[in-house]
Chains A and B, each alone.
Chain A
Amino acid sequence: MRIGEEIEKTGEKEIRKFITDNFMIGQNPDELKRDTSFLDNGIIDSLGVLELVSFVEEKFGIEVRDEELVPDNLDSINNLLGYIRRKLGG
């Protein structure tokens, strides 16, 4: 299986679980679509992003650089998956 496909499969599940467990407590997890913006929907704040970054670094064994702390890389499940795939060269 190519890295990209593997991330698609397991990555989405784990990221979704991390977001709903930590930032959407008490909210309907079905409201989190793959393209839901964490910022626009008030799901994540500045502290949340740091937690998300630690999670992604640990889970996927990558290092997030300062200049990568932008919505294009982090602000939805889709963006995160794309970013992780790029980092892992998948």
Chain B
Amino acid sequence: MLLSDFLVQGARRYGDKTAMVCGAKRMTYQEVDRSSNRVAHALLDLGVRRGDRVAIFLDNSAETVITAFAILKIGCVFTIINASMKSAKLHYILDNSEASALITDLRRWRVAEEATDGLTSLKASICVDGGVGGALAMEDILSGEGDSLPDNPCIDVDLAALIYTSGTTGVPKGVMLTHLNMVSAATSITQYLENNSSDVIINFLPLSFDYGLYQVLMAFKMGATIVLEKSFTYPYTIISKMQSERVTGFPGVPTVFAILLQLKDLEKYDLRSLRYMTNTGAALPVSHIERLRKSFPHVRVYSMYGLTECKRVSYLSPEELDRIPQSVGKAMPNTEVYLVNEKGERLSPGETGELVVRGANVMRGYWKMAEETAAVLRPGPYPGESVLYTGDLFKMDERGFLYFVARKDDIIKSRGERVSPKEIENVLYSLPQVREAAVIGVPDEILGQAIKAIVVADDGSRLTQKEVIAHCAQNLEDFMVPRLVEFRASLPKTPTGKIKKHELS
């Protein structure tokens, strides 16, 4: 099965059913399918061919979904870029992935134009709200012809998506996912969440984030309805949408649940249709779990754990949540996990070690990064097989329940997303007055971890906190911009000159 079959089969079985609600726009399965066929034909006309990478630089919108499926339907690979990305990083990603086309909108056009300067692989661009600078207008494509499903020579071991993620080196890595990887993950997740065609799932998480993207994939797989929102910025907008659309599924990250729990009258909203809530990205504080359970006694709450490299690893069933709220549960269906020590030997229950994952959901590797790939995809227990070393330290109890201990590297988890301190430090070092910089995560009730920059400025420098934040805001996605900046005279170091980060917090 191909990932695009979720939509193609959905259109056959549930043609007139609402597939997607996006602001005031409602689209049936047939309409989404037909629109994506038109975009697919337009991409073919522009010279995009099987295996090509196509980048989508848009916020959560119907066009993002339509385009992603169009790309899949012609055997190409989509990559959804964070909508707040700045031009230097976008340039890197377009160059690294050798993207042959870019889909964006007028709001992002200036950044896109800067980012595409000097790229030789790019054949075409499409702009959602009107043709500009040589780009084709999406409205012309959608109102044009080409309703038929294009021939797709692709098979399920072909790549479906590249999802760029932060790495310890500060250079983004493109996680290569095949159709098989993604179909397998969506199948396992919908199985344990017991999704069906009557589900209505709300998604305000960015589609550039795999957790957000999978809400759409899972909804389409089941013939359910996805209610797409741009963000959780105005909580009541989301809540009233949940009431009016009778939403059954609510995926969130700890930051979202923290905001939800700050609302004054949670109990008074009519959310009787809500069947389940899911959390991943980072653990929910136990006190938040208890309050969620109290505010939504009829709702099944799932604590989950995963990483982009395999999408999801484990889930805690709602039945176990009150008993072991600190656990992220057991391996999801069709996935196997175990813990190993530094020598790669399997550990007994109670011992702390690195989590290893086996399954059809494990990525192909990092795009054009053989060394980084070899570091995480290593030979498994059976000949000829690679397994994923997650870099996360866990404990496992006698019954196989997992408890997160720490990360092996210094990656920060803020708002549920992975943030590379190195990437931020690189940006800080590009400020001329910065002599030394270190970025750490500090505990924060709402963010999980807040990003803190510790800076040593040149003698006599008048660099201010505001200037440091402004510089970061101009060069990094919103979720990577430090909230805290501290100036120090020096940073603690090891005898070899490495900054001792654990002494900084």
Contacts and interface: CB of A to CB of B under 8 A. Distances in A.
A1 interface: no
A42 interface: yes
B234 A69 contact: yes
A31 to B, nearest CB: 12
A74 interface: yes
B484 interface: no
Interface in A20-78: 25-27, 38-42, 44-50, 65-71, 74-75
Interface residues of B, number: 29
B228 to A, nearest CB: 14
Nearest to A27: B473
B478 interface: yes
B230 interface: yes
B54 to A, nearest CB: 23
Contacts of B265: 65-66
Contacts of B469: 25-26
Interface residues of A, number: 24
Interface in B85-134: 107
B263 interface: yes
Nearest to B235: A69
Interface string B183-221: 000000000000000000000000000000000000000
B452 interface: no
Contact of B233 (A25, A27, A46): A46
23 contacts: A25-B469, A25-B470, A25-B473, A26-B471, A26-B474, A39-B234, A42-B83, A44-B233, A45-B231, A45-B233, A46-B255, A46-B256, A47-B255, A47-B446, A47-B447, A48-B233, A49-B235, A50-B259, A66-B264, A66-B265, A69-B234, A70-B236, A71-B237
A49 B234 contact: yes
B204 to A, nearest CB: 9
B84 interface: yes
A26 B482 CA distance: 14
A66 B239 CA distance: 10
Contacts of B474: 26
A74 B235 CA distance: 12
B466 interface: yes
B461 interface: no
B262 interface: yes
A23 to B, nearest CB: 9
Contacts of B235: 46, 49, 66, 69
Contacts of A48: 233
B232 interface: yes
A46 B233 CA distance: 4
Nearest to A66: B263
Given A40-B107, A45-B478, A46-B255, A26 B234 contact: no
A70 B240 CA distance: 10
B236 A46 contact: no
A25 B83 CA distance: 18
Contact of A42 (B84, B232, B255): B84
Contact of A65 (B107, B264, B470): B264
Interface in B445-475: 446-447, 466, 469-471, 473-474
Contacts of B259: 46-47, 50
Contacts of A46: 231-233, 235, 255-256, 259
A40 B44 CA distance: 31
B231 to A, nearest CB: 6
A70 B234 CA distance: 5
Contacts of B232: 46
Contacts of B239: 66
Contact of A70 (B84, B230, B237): B237
Contact of B107 (A41, A47, A69, A75): A41
Contacts of B83: 42
Contacts of A68: 236
Contacts of B262: 50
